[in-house]
């Protein structure tokens, strides 16, 4: 079955208030969700007029320069901050989790401009460390395998099993993940997510057992 992705673009001009531009540091990485990528080059020129050094990055699964995806957020060095153009906190939190630089957000729909509070990302990082420790002490591991295009990582999961022969691995294959269904496997001590990495970060309260991402375990 073929999968067709049709991006919906924002067709209005985006203008950032000068007072907001003044709040930004010198070196900026400009990113957005797919809806606003067509405006990034114009925003880049506006920022550069204020003597900002602006760069655009592209994830390995992204189509457009400056576009980020929830499951493919790149890291960047030698910069002071990210400027995210878009709505919601899904992408900004993902950026903050992968990078030490500050994250500024501008919502073209509401005109809101703010610096992301690191308190939420720190909470996620601490929970991540706790769950990783629980994985090392667990015997029965439930491995979440997605059949979605770009998220199927069964072979990588098998490498993990080979690295920890003392553990018992149970593979759970799905298209759309229903967290309620995971409660049907009470013998599982810890889950390893091999699909979208945001599952193990954003949905910590949807599951009673610890869950980590495959990439969290150093086994390559």
Q: Are residues 80 and 143 in the same domain?
A: no
* Residue 22 token pair: 């003044």
Residue 201, in any domain of the structure: yes
| Interval 12-60: pLDDT, tens | 888 899 999 999 999 999 999 889 999 999 999 999 999 999 999 877 7
Q: What are phi and psi of 173, to 5 degrees?
A: -105, 135
Q: What is the pLDDT of residue 220?
A: 46
Q: Which of 93, 117, 141 is the last residue of a domain?
A: 117
Q: Which of 209, 151, 219 is nearest to 182 (CA)?
A: 209
Domain that holds residue 86: 18-117
pLDDT of residue 218: 66
In tens, the pLDDT along 205-217 reads 677 899 998 888 8
Element (H, E) at 129: helix 119-136
Whether 50 is covered by a domain: the verdict is yes
Both structure tokens of 119? 């308190």
- How many beta carbons lie within 10 A of that of residue 37, not counting itself? 24
- What's the CATH number where 179 sits? 3.40.50.11860
Query: Six-digit token pair at 73?
Result: 């957020």
* Number of structural domains the chain divides into: 2
Specify the residue for token string 């002071």.
80
The DSSP letter of residue 2 is: -
Residue 113 sits in the same domain as residue 186? no
Q: Is residue 143 a part of any domain in this protein?
A: yes
pLDDT averaged over consecutive 10-residue blocks of the chain (220 residues)?
A: 72 89 95 92 94 87 81 80 92 88 94 91 88 95 88 87 94 88 93 85 73 78
Same domain, 127 and 160: yes
Q: Are 37 and 107 within one domain?
A: yes
Residue 162 counted as domain residue: yes
Q: What is the pLDDT of residue 77?
A: 82
pLDDT of residue 58: 78
Does 54 lie in the same domain as 22? yes
């Amino acid at each position: 079955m073929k999968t067709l992705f049709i991006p919906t673009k924002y067709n209005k001009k985006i203008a950032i208030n000068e007072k907001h531009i003044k709040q930004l540091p010198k070196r900026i990485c400009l990113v957005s969700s797919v809806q606003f990528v067509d405006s990034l080059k114009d925003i880049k020129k506006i920022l550069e007029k204020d003597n900002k050094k602006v760069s655009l990055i592209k994830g390995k699964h992204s189509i457009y320069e400056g576009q980020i995806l929830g499951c493919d957020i790149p890291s960047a060095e030698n910069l002071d901050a990210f400027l995210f153009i878009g709505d919601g906190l899904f992408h900004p939190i993902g950026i903050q989790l992968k990078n030490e630089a500050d994250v500024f957000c501008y919502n073209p729909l509401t005109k809101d401009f703010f610096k992301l509070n690191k308190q939420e990302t720190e909470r996620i990082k601490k929970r991540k460390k706790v769950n990783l420790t629980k994985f090392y002490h667990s015997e029965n591991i439930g491995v979440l395998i997605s059949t979605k295009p770009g998220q199927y990582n069964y072979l990588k999961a098998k490498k993990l099993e080979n690295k920890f022969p003392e553990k018992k691995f149970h593979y759970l294959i799905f298209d759309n993940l229903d967290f309620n269904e995971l409660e049907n496997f009470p013998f599982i001590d810890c889950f390893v997510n091999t699909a979208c990495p945001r599952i193990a970060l954003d949905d910590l309260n949807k599951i009673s057992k610890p869950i980590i991402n495959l990439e969290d375990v150093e086994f390559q």
